[in-house]
Amino acid sequence: MTLIQAVFVLFAILTLGAGLFTVLSRHLFHAVLYLILSLVGVAGLFVLLEAEFLAGVQVLIYIGAISILIIFAVMLTRGMARNPGPPLNNQSLAAAVIAGLFFVLLAPVIAGFPWPQATQGVPADAIEALGRSLVDPNQFALPFELASVMILAALIGAIFIAREKR
């Protein structure tokens, strides 16, 4: 095992392990903390893939902003922070079996696939190209605009749902 592979396994364990604790922890607040840990693992994987910009964005947006928002939501929702329910219900065994089956069926397919190898490294101006591609009509300008409309819809809906009764 090379050093890179060892680091990868470390980050993978961090991501998946923290993800598992996210769904298994009794307290919603603890779940958020585990989620943050899992997202740190993903940021590490981005660094490993030489996508430093995405790693930075991951830390800033997911760990910095979105987690804080979730914590706010948990603390502001009545009873949610105080009254933890059991994390498992009576369907957990069936769900685990199906998830396991899913893994058993999919893993050999993915492991046996002749994955293409990246031949050249990441170009030096990758961030600039990324920025340009988001506003270039011949690349991703339309999906980028659509994403903003989608977020607008989500925003309107969130305000509507959370608004006090009149």
Partner 1 sequence: MELSWWAHLWSVLPEIVLVLAAALMMAVDAWLPEGRKRELGYWAIGGLAAALTVTAVQAAQLAGGIAVPYEAFGGSVRADLAAMLFRVIFLLAGILTVAISMDFRPLRQSGEYYILLLISVLGMGLMGAAVNLVMLYLALETVGIALYLLAGYLRDTPRSAEAGLKYFLFGVFSSTIMLYGLALIYGFTGEIAYARIAQALAGLPAPAVMAALLLILVGFGFKVSAVPFHFWTPDVYEGAPTPVTAFISVASKAAGFAVLIRAMIEAFPTAQANWVAIMAALAFVTMTVGNLLAIPQRNLKRLLAYSSIAQAGYILIGIAAASPLGVAASIFYLGIYTLMNIAAFAVAVIMTNVTGSEEIRDLAGLSRRSPGLALAMLAALLSLGGIPPLVGFFAKLLVFAAAIESGLLWLAIAGVLNAMVAFYYYIMVARAMYVDRSPEEEKPVWISRPARFTLWFTVAGVLLLTVLVYPLYLLAQMAAQAF
Pull the structure tokens for residue 133: 């591609």
Least distance CB 150 / partner 1 (angstroms): 4
Q: What residues make contact with partner 1 under the rule CB under 8 A? A: 105-106, 109-110, 112-116, 136-143, 146-147, 149-150, 152-154, 156-157, 159-161, 165
Query: How far is residue 38 from each of residues 21, 34, 80, 146, measured CA to CA in Å?
Result: 9, 6, 22, 29
Structure letter (DSSP) for residue 77: S
| 3 vs 142 by CB, closer to partner 1 | 142
Pull the structure tokens for residue 148: 């903003």
| 64 vs 80 by CB, closer to partner 1 | 80
Least distance CB 116 / partner 1 (angstroms): 6
| 24 vs 98 by CB, closer to partner 1 | 98
Distance in Å from the first CA to the final CA of the chain: 63
| 124 vs 159 by CB, closer to partner 1 | 159
Distance CA 142, CA 135 (A): 8
